Amino acid sequence: MSPKQRHRDVGAYALGVLDPADSFRFEEHLADCATCAVRLSEFAGLESALAAFAHPGGAHGVLLPEPPGPTLLNQLLDAIETGRRRNGRRRLQLIAAAAALIIATPVAVLGLQAQDSGDDAVRTYAATDPATGVSATVALQERGWGSGVGLELARVKGPLTCKLVAVGKDGKEQTVTTWAVPVGGYGFPDAKGHEEPLRTEGGAALHGAEIDRFEVRTLDGHRLVTIEA
């Protein structure tokens, strides 16, 4: 199965229509693919909604945007019933895990949401450094005083003391936040106790249009990853 095919299989997996071998390969792919995690979380309510139609009277209160044709609906119902009997519990656990992954983004950590005060929508930027292997996602939202900034950092080993720096287009720098990395590090899925990425937040007295990039550095100046804004 090619990477593109794995991306396309997220809907089939959510509905339980992949065969066991393809399901296993998709689950391996899901562990490292944020795009599919997002898509899978969007299917979280679809299976139960369709399953309701498989039983007399079970669809009461369930609304579809457009009434499907009888052939398509029957095919979907058959697929849902088969999938639920075969591996529904594990599939729903993974859908829930994917939804939790999306909730636990820098956006959620910051609580950055468009507000009535006129603040702009949240923008996110991500990068992985090929030399260090460190991955980072930055969420930025305009505030009256500058920018609210959320950070998610993974695959960073310690012990280290680090900082997130906002670099302006004029070359001036501002430290957004600092933190310590333990020996086991953050964001290593196979390392027990160190699976979760670091999530932290801070702010800069720069507006988004003034920021050229963000850099994660150690306090002694070693750059771990650069995130272009």
Would the pLDDT of 64 be above 50? no
Percent of the chain predicted with pLDDT > 90: 35
Most confident of 55-59, 189-193, 216-220: 216-220
Give the residue from 35, 32, 12 showing the smallest Cα distance to 22: 12
Q: What is the pLDDT of residues 4-46, one digit of tens each?
A: 555 677 777 776 767 777 877 877 777 666 666 656 655 655 5
pLDDT of residue 196: 87
Question: Which pLDDT band holds residue 53 (cuts at 50, 70, 90)?
Answer: very low
Question: Which pLDDT band holds residue 134 (cuts at 50, 70, 90)?
Answer: very high
Angle, CA 213 vertex, CA 172 and CA 124 arms, to 5°:
140
Beta strand extents in 16-145 (DSSP E only): 123-128, 135-143
Q: What is the pLDDT of residues 77-125, one digit of tens each?
A: 565 555 555 555 555 555 555 544 444 456 555 554 444 344 457 888 9
Q: Which amino acid is at 139?
A: A
Task: Name the phi and psi angles at 101, rounded to 5.
Answer: -60, -40
Domain ranges of the chain: 3-103, 106-228
pLDDT of residue 13: 76
Q: Which amino acid is at 24?
A: F
39 near 95, Cβ under 8 Å?
Answer: no
pLDDT of residue 62: 46
Give the residue from 141, 200, 148, 205 showing the smallest Cα distance to 173: 205
pLDDT of residue 110: 53
CATH of the domain spanning 106-228, picked from 1.20.1260, 1.25.40, 1.10.8, 2.60.40: 2.60.40
Task: Tell me which residue has tokens 């909604």.
Answer: 49
Strand partners, 141: 148
* Residues 138-161, mean pLDDT to the nearest whole number: 92
